[in-house]
Amino acid sequence: MDKLIKETIDKLVDQRAHILQAICEDESIWQPQFIIQAVNEVRSITRMIRMLKGEKERL
């Protein structure tokens, strides 16, 4: 179970990094609603990571 949680956390961290990189490095002009949506997705992923880390510590 611990290994599965770690793998899931790693995937979420990669997904979060990809979104942030796209916001920062993309040369196209982002519409404000897309930036807000991307930031909300990053926040959601961060919450999932924190939840999984807490679950991992309980095990």
DSSP letter for each residue of the chain: -HHHHHHHHHHHHHHHHHHHHHHHH--SPPPHHHHHHHHHHHHHHHHHHHHHHHHHHH-
Give the pLDDT confidence score for residue 43 in this predicted structure.
95
Model confidence pLDDT, tens digit, residues 8-45:
999 999 999 998 888 887 655 667 888 888 899 999 99
pTM over 0.85: no
Within-domain flag for 41: yes
Compute how many other C-beta atoms are within 10 angstroms of the C-beta atom of residue 50: 11
> How many structural domains compose the chain?
1
The whole domain housing 34 covers: 2-13+28-58
Sign of CA dihedral 7, 9, 18, 33: positive
Within-domain flag for 20: no
